[in-house]
Chains A and B, each alone.
Chain A
Amino acid sequence: GGMLATALLLLLLLAAGPGRARRDALWEELLLSPLPSGDVAATFQFRTRWDADLQWGAVSHYRLFPKALGQLVAALGVRELHLALTQGFWRTQTWGQPPLQAPAGAELWVWFQPTVTDIDKAWKELSNVLSGIFCASLNFIDSTNTVTPTASFKPLGLANGTDHHLLRYAVLPREVVCTENLTPWKKLLPCGSKAGLAVLLKAERLFHSSYHSQAVHIRPVCRDPSCLAVSWELRQTLTVVFDTFSSGQGKKDWSLFKMFSRTLTDACPLASQSKLYVDISPNNKEKELLEVTPPPASVHEAIVQGDKRTYAVYDLLSPSLFNTSRSLNVQLKWKRPQDSSELPMPMLHAQRYVSGYGLQTGEISTLIYNTHVYRAFPVILLETVPWYLRLYVHTLTIITKGKENKPSYIHYQPAQDRRRPHLLEMLIQLPANSVTKITIQFERALLKWTEYPPDPNHGFYVSSSVLSALVPSVIAMKDVDAEQSPLFTSLFPSSDGSSYFVRLYTEPLLVNLPTPDFSMPYNVICLTCTVVAVCYGSFYNLLTRTFHVEEPSRGGLAKRLANIIRKFRGVPPL
């Protein structure tokens, strides 16, 4: 009986499978959150899920999932791909914890399938293809800036092994992100920028901002809770921070139109969900300070990053939303001026700088702050330093509260000149309410003259260091359904309810290297040539000139002048 029922069910499933049922779906979300400093962060997320196995090139018929990325995943044996292009630096101290962070410049990290035999070749090819797709200089990713971290980057999707040899990580801190990177990113969206939330993505506004970060995340996920089959998920996220304070004549009020110079008129017809969230969480348990118009249809409460958050939700797919007016222009007004002096301190933040004088040696210092009042927690620090800064590992010191803090795990891979960078990974325990200072000294190497980039006096970038930590949360989190909760909570899985995952990037560093005078060879050539030419000229003159006695002639200019003067004086001319 049971067998028969199963068979029947299977038959039914098979019948329903290839027919009308959609195997891919799109969700779009926009989160607007006023930041403690008065700025506004807008985070877009477009999530495409495809119930198909992308691997092995078995599938070649695409609908919502972009073909260019799908082919890439299939052809190069990619298991997970994370690419972020960022302009500006997320100021954790004043803006708080970001929903999704990325280092300044371009960041790419990829997990490959265990079947890929030559990972370095696949990685090279992948970065070249991606640089073509996104018009970014990712083709500059080579062995000198690629590392294989052992602990910092874990697969975010479905993975049955975390052999870190399959991982490649690279950051290009010098990369400048602009419109030409945004356009191909928008082109990957099923609705383009023609409908839905993406109409707000107007380049001239997005890049007129303090921070812009766009990312692509591809990963395999479970198709259903039983997790017998794999689906592929593509997340395209875009975070932008608008400085409303200075552009709004000192007021912190904002509206969609003020920020994007567009309003929302419809949802993307292909999306199964299209929602706009506005973070209206009261700051310090007082009554609400802000007012959003039009009034939201519903309010959603969630615990995000260890904090209780309240969101006003606008569902663009609900027909009632566009009943009263044709377009949605969400506005936010502060009921009374907000006291900006009391910025809530983020639980974990960090700072990094380079110190020292002269062009021979220097020191990189990293300060990590744990502002939790009573909880200590560990953090994994990943440093990637280019080979031309020669790190002295024996000078590595980690000091917390005046005492040496011994890391419980260190992975150090020394650099090889022109081959690979330094990789330093450490697991450091941060005591409660403490500052940990990590310093390491380095020596600057001399480059070959062809190795200098154009404008070498600008300096050389050292990519941000990466902090990964499970930060204890203030409020116990419930194990929420990942599909239901809005935004980003589902990208990083939280291990248990008492802590949440945070990844932080520090500032990229700019280090000057001893730079030769590049015009010197030409100057030398010029100088030598001039000397040779002068010698040659006089020698030539000496050889070819014929000497003969000058006959008195009508005379030169001096003689004529003298004659004129003589004439005036009445003296006979010469």
Chain B
Amino acid sequence: ASAQFQLAVPVAVVFAPGSVPGDLPRPLPFRDVQEMEISVNLRTSITSRYETVYRSTTAQEETALDAATAREADAALRPLQDASLGSVTVYVVPETSSLLPQGVSIYVGKHRSALVRAGGGLAALRTRIRQLTQVMSFTASSIATALSDRVPDGQLSPDARRHLKSSLGYEITFSLLNPDPKSHTVDWDIEDAVNRYVQPVLDKLSLVANFSVDSQILYYAVLGVTPRFDKESSSFLLSAHSLPHVINPVEARLGSSAASLYPVLNFLLYVPERSHSPLYIQDKDGTPVSTNAFHSPRWGGIMIYNVEAPASPQASLPLHVDVDMVRVMEVFLAQLRLLFGLSREELPAEFLLESPGNEGLADWELDRLLWAHTVENIATVSTTLTSLAQLLDKIGNIVIKDDVASEVYRAVASAQSAMAKLAMGHLHSAFQASKEAVTSSERAFFDPSLLHLLYFPDDQKFAIYIPLFLPMAVPILLSLAKIVREARQRKKEPTKMD
């Protein structure tokens, strides 16, 4: 399936007084469009259009930019800017502005705006702005990750496989594994921790998908690997190469969700047995991992939570353990961001990213996710419909019911509208349309009437008529053989005559 995407990013570049570069081609305000080509594979290419409006600040914006720190300015500017999803507003401040700390020339706020220090000519500014808009919307690699099914294997970074596939919903399950309930009574206040730390992030992400959160405690669930005892530190160690074997036995206990078909994200907190604690994870170099946690791509994460040994060895068992949820949730939230592809990339030192705070997610990070998911959804729809078409090609007498057909039409229409909206820069409606397209295409593809086993394959029909074909073929083949023999003889005969 070939696909030509056009992604339009509305960018507004706002010049504060004293920051306008001297070599502007036209007086402010003016528009300009820059295009960039990202090619994923031979048949899929992506054109990104940066539709930029250059203007000078309004009076309100000027007062907002007069704030003492970048963070305050960011908060003050928020109500003044275009709040639609996917848009980027860049405020250019004078080179001497004290708003940005020393050495920092680009500040990305919590919302959809950034502050850029003026300096150099328009060309230098443009490179900076392009770099910035890519950080805040999408880069070639983030799009390639979203289309990872279409990218040839070698070209993809290992990180790309980590991200969760786009889906209409996700289930997040926190499991506390207590393999040794005789020695440890472990309590965790997961309800409070979820409400306090996870829910704000999910509220923000609710635009992307539906989320449901639950938790369970599993007893006698052990890891699949026996850790190695290290005499020096008198602790137990799990080496990085044994981690792949850890999950399988645990996975059998986790159980699948009964109520929905969404992919499940598992976060496990493992309290090692008394006979195996303390337990530490070692990375490839042999140094202990500071978080004592690891994640498994597209599956979830595991954190090992060691219980402090009691002061006296005679302490009565079971030991009561109250899990420090702040420490645990910090790790799990970081893993959650990682799994959604929200990890912050390595950026040049001149960039300063505002921490998203309690919400766990900046507005522009949400936009990044939406860009990637929209593209991925459209690609998925195209793949699904292509395989449906292939199935129809293979089995000619398959019956497409009217409702399946209408789902297919709806999927195509929604996908087209999603692409059109992307080209116009309406990210939110594009994402909604792409979601609808995925729903319709999946519904069509998984319709029970399209089960290919329901249809009699042609080779079996042929097999049934073998008793007819075989005896009928015998005289034909015999006479063919006879003709060949006679033809050969006739060829030989003239030579004999000589």
Contact surface of A with B, Cβ cutoff 8 Å:
20, 60-64, 66-69, 71-72, 74-76, 129, 132-133, 187, 190-192, 194-195, 266, 269-270, 522, 525-526, 528-530, 532-534, 536-537, 540-541, 544
Bound complex: CA of A72 vs CA of B260, how far in Å? Answer: 10
Digit string of B112-137 for contact with A (CB within 8 Å is 1, else 0)? 00000000000000000000000000
Question: Nearest 10 pairs between A and B by C-beta?
Answer: A533-B471, A529-B468, A75-B259, A60-B214, A529-B467, A194-B220, A62-B216, A67-B216, A61-B215, A269-B181
The interface bits of chain B over 68-81 (1 if a CB of A lies within 8 angstroms of the residue's CB, else 0) are 00000000000000
Contact, CB under 8 Å: B471 / A129: no
Q: A61-B191, A194-B220 are in contact. Are A71 and B259 (CB under 8 A)?
A: yes
Kindly list chain B residues whose C-beta atoms are within 8 Å of the C-beta of A63. Answer: 216-217
Question: Which chain A residues lie closer than 8 Å to B191 at the CB level?
Answer: 61
List B residues 241-290 near A (Cβ within 8 Å): 252-253, 255-260
Report whether A536 and B472 are in contact in the complex, using a CB–CB cutoff of 8 Å.
yes
Docked Cα-Cα span, A540 to B482, in Å, equals: 14
A75 neighbours in B (Cβ, 8 Å) = 258-260
When chains A and B are docked, how far (Å) is the Cα of A67 from the Cα of B468? 59
B101 touches A (CB below 8 Å) = no
**A396–B155 CA distance with the chains assembled, in angstroms:** 77
B318 at the interface (CB under 8 A from A): yes
Q: A66-B255, A192-B219 are in contact. Are A71 and B475 (CB under 8 A)?
A: no
* A-B CB contact pairs (8 Å), 8 listed: A63-B217, A69-B258, A129-B258, A194-B220, A195-B220, A525-B464, A530-B467, A537-B474
In the complex, what distance in Å separates the CA atom of A67 from the CA atom of B44? 43
Within 8 Å of chain A (Cβ to Cβ): is B476? Answer: yes
CB distance from A9 to the nearest CB of B (A): 24
- Chain A's nearest CB lies how many Å from the CB of B329? 14
Instruction: State which residues 458-483 of B face A: CB under 8 Å.
Output: 464-465, 467-468, 470-472, 474-476, 479
List 11 additional A-B contacts (Cβ < 8 Å) besides A194-B219, A525-B468.
A60-B213, A61-B190, A61-B214, A66-B255, A68-B255, A71-B258, A71-B259, A191-B220, A269-B181, A270-B181, A544-B479
* Nearest B residue (CB) for A195: B220
Closest-by-CB residue of B relative to A67 is B216
Q: Which residues of chain A are near B212, meaning CB under 8 Å? A: 60
Q: How far is the CB of B326 from chain A (nearest CB, A)?
A: 18
Contact of B214 among A67, A194, A528, A536 (CB under 8 A): A67
Chain A residues, Cβ within 8 Å of B228: none
Interface of A is mostly: helix
B-side contacts of A530, CB under 8 Å: 467, 471
B182 within 8 A of A: yes
- Check if A522 sits within 8 Å of B464, measured CB to CB: yes
Contact B475 A525 (CB under 8 A): no
Interface centre among B181, B190, B213, B216 (most CB of A within 10 A): B216
How many angstroms between the C-alpha atoms of A428 and B248 in the bound complex?
A: 56
Q: Are B217 and A71 in contact (CB under 8 A)?
A: no
Verify B258–A72 contact, CB threshold 8 A. Answer: yes
Query: B467, A526: Cβ atoms under 8 Å?
Result: yes
Complex Cα gap A532–B468 (Å): 7
Chain A residues positioned under 8 Å from B213 (CB to CB): 60
- Return the contact of A71 from the options B194, B214, B465 (Cβ within 8 A): B214
**CA gap between A474 and B405 in the complex, in Å:** 69
Q: B258 — which chain A residues lie within 8 A by C-beta?
A: 68-69, 71-72, 75, 129, 132-133
Q: Mark B215-230, 1 if CB is under 8 A from A, else 0.
A: 1110110000000000
Q: What residues on B are CB-neighbors of A76 within 8 Å?
A: 259
* Distance, CA A67 to CA B216, complexed state (A): 7
Residue ID in chain B nearest A128 by CB atoms = B258
| C-alpha gap A63/B190 in the complex (Å) | 11
A537 & B472 in contact (Cβ 8 Å cutoff) = yes
- Taking a contact as CB atoms under 8 Å apart, the answer to whether A187 and B253 are in contact is yes
**Cβ of A270 and Cβ of B219 under 8 Å apart?**
yes
Residues of the B chain whose Cβ atoms lie less than 8 Å from the Cβ of A192: 219-220, 253
- Provide the residues of chain A in CB contact with B260, threshold 8 Å: 75
Write the B172-201 contact mask toward A (1 if CB under 8 angstroms, else 0): 010000000110000100110010000000
Contact of A68 among B182, B190, B256 (CB under 8 A): B256
